[in-house]
Chain A
């Protein structure tokens, strides 16, 4: 019948077109002599600003060195991970298997990072983590081809405990969201605070991303601690700062936190955040020539102020440049490449830092105080903080 024949021919055409469509991107990518760098970052959603900042920082580092890696030109590929862990592996595979990147730079969200990590370990691709602080990536599941240039979730809080006890705040309540990042931040806090002689009166938690803090703030008030230590980030952090202040708790109870409590939210939090003390590996207000130059250059290039995420992206670029230069652009020379990156000292806007054996930064943690919408650095909470790297079998 004519109809059937038409259907058959048409459907054959459709399938043919679809298949060629699938093959097309791959055919267009002729083999070139360029280094392929893949960004897997959140370009939409809550973390979109962070993704953009990281990429900006990375590109700036590259451009400062003439835009080449070990003498070779660079080609960029991008995937929006939407901060969706369910698609982590699929998105990472697009870069690694379809676009055949030599380096994968990503990502922000720890859940997504787990997906990238799996692909990195299976494929051996060089994986650079510019933010996600999930512990296992540089602990039990550390890998020679995975390097982190940011922090582990417990590093900031590892420096918090002693700072609190030194200020006479020996009884504290801990509060955070009940999810992996919160649990890991608590780990660092518990370790450092109890070691310094502090007592954790109670550990409070609420489901992520719930921001109804009133009930728990009331509970804190009834416990009457010297201080409250916490981990919150983003919109939730801004709300917590305001609610804490509005409940009158800031009068008698000092608020401490992992630095993310006051990162990127000071505009939103307003005067409620004044006097809050946090520990982190960076501060916008860090008064060093290196940081000042970085901030000036970034502002000129991108017409925006950089933040810790931009710094981490920048350092990722610096790290890759060091590695690529050491192997003169031959990224397949993995042994030399990894060795160069392991032994690197990064001259970062945050200060100089080195890579630990588990491939995580060993860095100073600054003690910062919020004054007038700025994180003023009032000292170094702890020098050369290293993540315990429990379970890592490298080096």
Chain B
């Protein structure tokens, strides 16, 4: 592999890793703050993708679709938290695993009833629908750069929200000591609703912005869910920073693994996880 190729593969890993981060961030946030493990997280990703396809075909604009889709996702996340998840914070992880596994079945079927089982595509917005020639043979799609940029922007926004705003402070306080925070007069139920909606929105947005390059098809949630879990385990549950580092690592291992060692590429990421666990059973970063 020559240097130019190496750089391009690095770019590929970065883009894949950043998208994974978006998903993992939502999952780890929800777990870190509320202690809920959500197997249906992949379903939100799928939901986002299908929403993007459906709305983009109605509005003829992906950007508008993403805006509206995000609002729908936030509303859905809020409703789910209020109706269902709120009652499970104090319950066993086992119950949460089962509940969310049942939800996966339900979401899949609802999706099938609403939108059918076909494969769909979402058109890339015309403005960014071109490629930058990198070598004589290979061009890099600008839209992928846009995806990376959006992920970075959202990551920064998340960091800013959590570390530098009052809301973020309340969230962190609530995660640290719920009773004390409530005693101080902060509406912890509201905070939880916000965090859950945020997590769902992140997953849905990931699905939406990725839809032009990933296509929209049934079962797209499950394939991404497992990777998501691996990222969260490596990074440390509850740590958004950990999710970022871990997602980039997974991106690297997956990308270079496919090219350099195709026979074990499928297992490579899990071996990485096993290695990390040997030294740090709680993941790379603490909450």
Which A residues have a C-beta under 8 Å from some C-beta of B?
44-46, 48-49, 178, 204-207, 209-212, 214-219, 221-222, 224, 234-236, 238-239, 242-243, 246-249, 252-253, 264-265, 267-270
Contact = CB atoms under 8 A, between A and B. Distances in A.
Interface residues of B, number: 47
B126 interface: no
Contact of A270 (B8, B123, B255): B123
Contacts of A204: 262
A267 B117 CA distance: 14
B258 A222 contact: no
B168 to A, nearest CB: 33
A234 B112 contact: no
Contacts of A207: 265-266
B266 A221 contact: no
B205 to A, nearest CB: 19
A215 B139 contact: no
A206 B119 contact: no
A249 B137 contact: yes
A45 B119 CA distance: 11
Contacts of B13: 215
Contact of B143 (A209, A224, A246, A269): A246
B16 interface: yes
Contact of B218 (A48, A216, A217, A242): A48
Interface string B11-40: 011011000000000000000000000000
A215 B258 contact: yes
A323 to B, nearest CB: 32
B163 interface: no
Interface string B116-137: 1111110100000001010111
A268 B121 contact: yes
Given A45-B219, A242-B215, A268-B215, A215 B138 contact: no
A235 B53 CA distance: 14
A221 B116 CA distance: 37
A216 B213 contact: no
B54 interface: no
B141 interface: yes
A221 B2 CA distance: 12
Contacts of B16: 212, 214
B145 to A, nearest CB: 12
Contacts of A234: 119, 217
Given A214-B16, A264-B119, A221 B137 contact: yes
Contacts of B112: 44, 48
B119 A235 contact: yes
Nearest to B122: A268
Contacts of A248: 131, 133, 137-139
Contact of A216 (B109, B212, B259, B266): B259
23 contacts: A46-B117, A46-B218, A49-B118, A178-B262, A211-B215, A214-B16, A215-B9, A215-B12, A215-B259, A219-B259, A221-B135, A221-B137, A222-B135, A222-B137, A235-B215, A238-B119, A238-B215, A246-B143, A247-B131, A248-B131, A252-B137, A253-B137, A270-B121
B254 interface: yes
A215 B254 CA distance: 9
B267 to A, nearest CB: 9
Interface in B214-271: 214-220, 223, 254-256, 258-259, 262, 265-266
A246 B15 CA distance: 15
Instruction: Give the residue among A49, A178, A212, A264 with the most B Cβ atoms within 10 A.
Output: A212
Instruction: Give the residue among B109, B217, B219, B220 with the most A Cβ atoms within 10 A.
Output: B217
B255 A212 contact: yes
Contacts of B123: 270
B5 interface: yes
Nearest to A205: B262
Contacts of A49: 116-118
B266 A178 contact: yes
B255 A214 contact: yes
Contacts of B262: 178, 204-206
B83 interface: no
B213 A243 contact: yes
B94 interface: no
A131 to B, nearest CB: 16
Nearest to A83: B219
Contacts of A243: 213
B207 to A, nearest CB: 13
Contacts of A267: 120-121
B84 interface: no
A209 B137 contact: no
Contacts of B138: 217-218, 221-222, 247-249
B137 A268 contact: no
Given A205-B262, A235-B119, A246-B213, 8 more contacts: A46-B219, A49-B116, A216-B259, A222-B137, A234-B119, A243-B213, A248-B138, A268-B121
B117 A45 contact: yes
B120 A247 contact: no
Can you list the 6 inter-chain pairs with the closest CB atoms, starting with the nearest?
A: A248-B139, A235-B217, A268-B121, A207-B266, A221-B138, A246-B141
Interface string B138-152: 111101100000000
Contacts of B219: 45-46
Given A206-B258, A207-B266, A248-B138, A239 B213 contact: yes
A224 B141 CA distance: 19
B114 interface: no
Contact of B8 (A45, A210, A218): A218
Given A222-B2, A269-B121, A206 B140 contact: no
B214 to A, nearest CB: 6
A267 B140 CA distance: 23
Nearest to A264: B119
Contacts of A217: 138
B1 interface: yes
Contacts of B8: 218
A56 to B, nearest CB: 15
